[in-house]
Amino acid sequence: MVGETVITVVGNLTDDPELRLTPSGDPVAHFTVASTPRTFDRQSNEWRDAETLFLRCSVWRQEAEHAAESLSRGTRVIVQGRLRQRTYETREGEKRTVIELEADEIGPSLRFAAVTVTKPPHTGVPAGARGGPRPPAEDPFTRPGGEQPVPAAGGRHAPREEADPF
């Protein structure tokens, strides 16, 4: 949305994502990402770690379930989302303010690991349930499994016939 602060954080999970249900039954997963910037010191010819940022994150609905099933402590992740500031009161009556990342996208980093991606079966959550665009009901390009139709021969996207170079 306009005016929101969108950031991308790359780091390691400090613990397994914690999956809970809201009173209305919506799943939400909470986790913390530790991100430590590194710089190369040319004088000493070695890498130096800066101060680690610990950022509390949350992810909702089906994506929360996927994160809890797929990610674990130590996994290097890439998280993109919107910063949220929240104020609450402790049991002692002190007011506290925290800044959290409400994740829109989360996935494992492939820089130091290989993963196998599996698409779960459709659960009935309509496309665009998180506010994204919805495909038209009669969209000819939407098929189960995300497959796209192959254009007919001679169609706009059909491969061109090349002249024999010999």
User: CB 48: neighbour CB atoms within 10 A?
Assistant: 10
pLDDT in tens, 72-121: 999 999 999 999 998 999 999 999 999 999 999 998 988 888 888 887 77
CA angle 65, 128, 58 (to 5 degrees): 35
Residue 74: both structure tokens together: 């130590």
Residue-averaged pLDDT of the chain: 79
